[in-house]
Amino acid sequence: MKFALLVAIVSEDLEERAIDVAKEAGAAGMTILTGRGIGTEDRKTFFGLTYQGTQTLLVCVLERTLALTVMKALTDGLELKKHSKGVVFTVPLEHLAGIDTRQIESFVERIREDI
């Protein structure tokens, strides 16, 4: 079975919606991190204080085809192509240890349903 790491970086206001969309698409578990980013636009200032919007990083280890399904669901569900409020990408995983066997069984069951 092939696995991929799915990473979604979205604006903080889309965090809950992104989690819901990912779960509905089949992502059972994920790690959620908070970060800051630097974009191409200048940062906004207000009375000398610089506003730096926070971003949420969702990280999931998924079976490769499921990762693409979740990626498409996030892209469509959050309208990332229209609003440019985030980015989603996958990275193939060559070696993996420590994944819960129940998660692997879930992936196998999902593949059986698709066949």
pLDDT tens string, the chain, 115 residues long: the values are 789 999 999 988 899 999 999 999 999 889 999 988 776 666 666 666 655 678 899 999 998 989 999 999 999 999 988 877 789 999 999 888 887 777 777 777 777 777 7
| Amino acid, res. 108 | V
Per DSSP, 14 falls in state G
Could you give the CA distance from residue 19 to residue 8 in angstroms, rounded to a whole number? 10
Q: Are 67 and 6 in contact (CB under 8 A)?
A: yes
CATH of 3-38+51-114, picked from 3.30.70.120, 3.40.449.10, 1.10.10.10, 2.60.120.260, is: 3.30.70.120
Overall pTM > 0.95? no
